[in-house]
Structure 1
């Protein structure tokens, strides 16, 4: 696991965050433009680590920033119980960190069908949440490449922690294709590479149809055969051909064998390379006491993987087009 200790930069980062508009949702475009300007002044070693990860990725497929400034628990509002966040909610420190770090990497993006088309998502446990939702808590959220079925899938998923779960049981699991690939035979790699397979989509993208079937086509491996991208979802990828089923099962086994667990604590910001990994979350038990686990999530698009065509702005919201 690649960890950048940001403790020594806490003062500088607080100052940069203080430069940002303090009601971010009042004008999110202006907020993210301001964050883009401030991101040019990030402390040198942190900026270098982000730039290197953005250009080259890593074997782990993720980068963990630890020791970022964060409010004391008593100073935080109660963990949310509904979405979206109020438009007048003042900037939280970890939201500021997501603005600064995200703009160093690329463009924050919202998805029209997801979370009321908002760009910043509160991630918290919710009673009776769908098992595919990030709001589920007491069941395993299975391995998935975020929106692998979406033509404009995000390049990065960023998770910032304001509150951990009470027992510190919740782990974000990440498995990297760079680590899994050597565990696959040449025959399996060849079968999976550039081969479109049927894939279902998450509930938010089903257009109100409870079961539209496999409306997308996803390639499990694609790009450079020597260093491929990954498109994988344990719940939604639905190969039909027996040889495809067998190859995906081999990929699943390899990903399980290289899985790393990240236990997020307040002040942590996890950057997941969404083109080279799959991620999951282990179960935990909420107490519904206003102090349950509270993460902040944003999606970042960059020019990699043809996710940008030119003229986009940080804060844009895109509509769903399934991969075909």
Structure 2
């Protein structure tokens, strides 16, 4: 299953939302604790879909929840033009959905160096945004496994849509390693498996240094060779050995061939399996009229691949440590 129609659950989900603290940023830990309790009462069909995806993933590498409750556009505030969000901003319905669904999957996590160490991120177009930033709009945001270079890379990236772009052109593209693997020849697969390659990091994690170089080491494929995890970033992975370069090129080609485009509309929540996919976003044209595209993003850690060591809470903030 890749798409779950949640239209029939709207009433139950609105009731659960009403149980949550209505100013989430006033105490993010308390808000997420409340969401964790409420997540136990999610509609059975939705809970089953989430639990199955969390346990096994799927072939496409993502789960799309469609038809969730969301404010009418007129009831929403203007699309943000700055970050972070004000601490006193009232809970938006799609933020509630990220709380409930995310707590069913694992622990919401903030990253110290990213977005002022906040847990909830507004994703919106911003003039003159860096080409590696989610705030870019009129250029392609290239394929990347989110924070593949980070020792505490999140298991899931979750994107919830309150407002689509005007022309409905912006696509979130996802490419799954489970679909790409059969397209890569055995020699390249063997080269990519468990082989550390130099990787640069995003601007937020460079410690104020304009270009610290490839300070991380990332394995493009790792884990079970027959069903591997993926660590890939088209902009930042920087192999130098000619055989490594060729193998990464074969991987890139295969990922391009299996790419799917998801057009997020209000009431959609996209859960990206960040250990088995790479994702991108196609260009769109903002109008700067207060009604531009507005997504909400959270990162979820689980027990997989050393993300948790014990005692963590939903809402914790972690500091950067590059993969070595």
- Scaled to the shorter chain, the TM-score interval is over 0.9
Cα deviation for residue 2 of structure 1 reads 0.9
Cα deviation for residue 49 of structure 1 reads 0.1
Q: Deviations over 1:210-264 (max 9, x none)?
A: 0000000000000111100000000000000000000000000000000000000
Separation in 1 of the partners of 2:183 and 2:124?
35
SS in structure 1 at match of 2:256: helix
Separation in 2 of the partners of 1:228 and 1:196?
14
Kindly indicate whether residue 275 of structure 2 is the aligned counterpart of residue 275 of structure 1: yes
- 2:230 aligned residue: 230
**Residues paired across the two proteins, number:** 324
Separation in 2 of the partners of 1:210 and 1:20?
42
- 1:137 aligned residue: 137
SS in structure 2 at match of 1:224: coil
- 2:297 aligned residue: 297
Kindly indicate whether residue 211 of structure 2 is the aligned counterpart of residue 211 of structure 1: yes
- 1:155 aligned residue: 155
- 1:29 aligned residue: 29
Q: Deviations over 1:23-56 (max 9, x none)?
A: 0000000000000000000000000000000000
Kindly indicate whether residue 312 of structure 2 is the aligned counterpart of residue 321 of structure 1: no
Cα deviation for residue 179 of structure 1 reads 0.2
- 2:54 aligned residue: 54
Separation in 1 of the partners of 2:297 and 2:210?
26
Separation in 2 of the partners of 1:223 and 1:307?
15
- 1:118 aligned residue: 118
Separation in 1 of the partners of 2:248 and 2:100?
37
Separation in 1 of the partners of 2:176 and 2:304?
17
- 2:66 aligned residue: 66
Separation in 1 of the partners of 2:294 and 2:16?
23
Separation in 2 of the partners of 1:13 and 1:189?
44
Quote the RMSD (CA, aligned, Å): 0.5
- 1:178 aligned residue: 178
TM-score (norm 1): 1.00
- 1:254 aligned residue: 254
Separation in 2 of the partners of 1:22 and 1:104?
20
Separation in 2 of the partners of 1:213 and 1:305?
25
- 2:287 aligned residue: 287
Separation in 2 of the partners of 1:220 and 1:95?
32
Q: Any runs of at least 4 consecutive aligned residues in structure 1 with deviations exceeding 4 A, and if so which?
A: none
- Structure 2: unaligned runs, 5 residues or longer: none
Separation in 1 of the partners of 2:49 and 2:304?
18
SS in structure 2 at match of 1:122: strand
Separation in 1 of the partners of 2:186 and 2:131?
34
Separation in 2 of the partners of 1:286 and 1:50?
33
Separation in 1 of the partners of 2:3 and 2:253?
26
Cα deviation for residue 119 of structure 1 reads 0.2
Cα deviation for residue 95 of structure 1 reads 0.1
Separation in 1 of the partners of 2:6 and 2:250?
38
Cα deviation for residue 306 of structure 1 reads 1.3
Cα deviation for residue 181 of structure 1 reads 0.3
Separation in 1 of the partners of 2:304 and 2:7?
31
Cα deviation for residue 305 of structure 1 reads 1.1
Separation in 2 of the partners of 1:184 and 1:253?
9
Separation in 2 of the partners of 1:271 and 1:283?
21
SS in structure 2 at match of 1:69: coil
Separation in 2 of the partners of 1:210 and 1:128?
17
Separation in 1 of the partners of 2:153 and 2:18?
31
Separation in 2 of the partners of 1:202 and 1:304?
23
Cα deviation for residue 308 of structure 1 reads 0.5
SS in structure 1 at match of 2:182: helix
TM-score (norm 2): 1.00
Cα deviation for residue 315 of structure 1 reads 0.1
- 2:7 aligned residue: 7
